[in-house]
A = this chain, B = another copy of it.
Amino acid sequence: MLMREKNIPPLLAQEEVSSLLNLPHKRLEEAYWKGIIKNYQKHDIEAIQFRKGLGSVEAGTMVIMGDEIEIIRGFPKIRRTLMLHPALEKHFTGDVAVEEKMNGYNVRIAQIDDTIIAFTRGGYICPYTTRKANEILDMGEFFQEHPEMVICGEMVGTLNPYVSHYYPEIGKLGFRIFDLRKKLTNEPLPVMEKRKLLLDYSLEPVRLLGIFPFKEAPAKIMGIVRDLGANNREGVVMKDPMMQLEPLKYTSSQAQASELEYALSYPFDLAQAFLFSRIIREGFQAHEMAESDDKVRERALRMGESILYPMLETIKRVKNGEVAAEDLVIEVENREEAEEFIRHLRDLKVMATLAEIKDGKAVIRRIHQSTNDKVNNYLQGGLY
């Protein structure tokens, strides 16, 4: 026990951390031994990372030793409705603000001392995201006047190492903001106040698609989601305009299909976790949309195709001697930036290699090892 005491990260031992997080020191210590909290020392940052939630502190929370102790809370998990109609009636009481949910990756940006840093969902500092966020957004003035704020948004576009998706208005890489939250408390600004403040600093929010009385909202939102889907866009987040109630999310059938497609491209790495929930979403959405027989059949075909085709494609590629891998393209100034990003991926236990650097772009090859090994094994007659 004595030896253990010695090994606790100094930051965790500080009385202030315990009182800021409203968690007894003993509980933090236990969480540290259980791996819920990890020491994080990278990119000249000394911090504590919450790998899982603890009490009311969200997973992804970072406690950072700057000039003073800064706490960037994890982005709260947004729950999903399977049926818009009953869920909205049950959940909301007044108006429902509908913002677009974009298909990229969740980023929190905050100023620590004089540096603007980008954190991905789990609290990791991503060097590529940090660099790109600083290139894309002019946040200097905003953080000078609102150093207590955390900008929460989606990094989207095709030159995107995590979730590459084409948006006509974005192209290669862009950032859209969905929340402004306070450090330490995670308190979000009300929807219109947030949008006003962003406008003042020329920072781009996600699209506001309407504010509806909760009674009308399900029908309106169903129409919106149908249109979004038809344009290959993901879905919506529904918010209490005052941000007193938990937001909810709902996504299009096309979004489900493209997630299935991705998962089934690497079935032995990704599919098991993805498959069931996407399929369940389709069932309830088809039910609520009360589709015609033709529409249901179309949905069934879309589902079947997004399951079967990518699998076939991957089997064929592995058969032809290729590796089951996906190529992520990022913009870099030099080789070192590419290598730094690969090291970051390895910290996340993602196996990746540098395939090519050319014209300021690095091709990072992410290898899906289980898919590769298992498909090879079955192609050689291995038994299931």
Contacts and interface: CB of A to CB of B under 8 A. Distances in A.
Copies of this chain, count: 2
A80 B267 CA distance: 18
A86 interface: yes
Q: Number of contact residues on A: which range applies? A: 35 or more
Interface in A3-28: none
A303 B307 contact: yes
6 contacts: A79-B383, A79-B384, A282-B307, A283-B312, A297-B301, A304-B305
Interface stretch (A33-41, A87-95, A113-121, A174-182): A87-95
Given A307-B303, A308-B286, A277 B384 contact: yes
A248 B384 CA distance: 10
Interface in A283-331: 283-284, 286-287, 296-297, 299-305, 307-309, 311-312, 315-316, 319
A283 B315 contact: yes
A174 B365 CA distance: 56
A380 interface: yes
A310 to B, nearest CB: 9
Contacts of A280: 267, 311, 384
Contacts of A89: 381
A382 interface: yes
A271 interface: yes
A69 interface: no
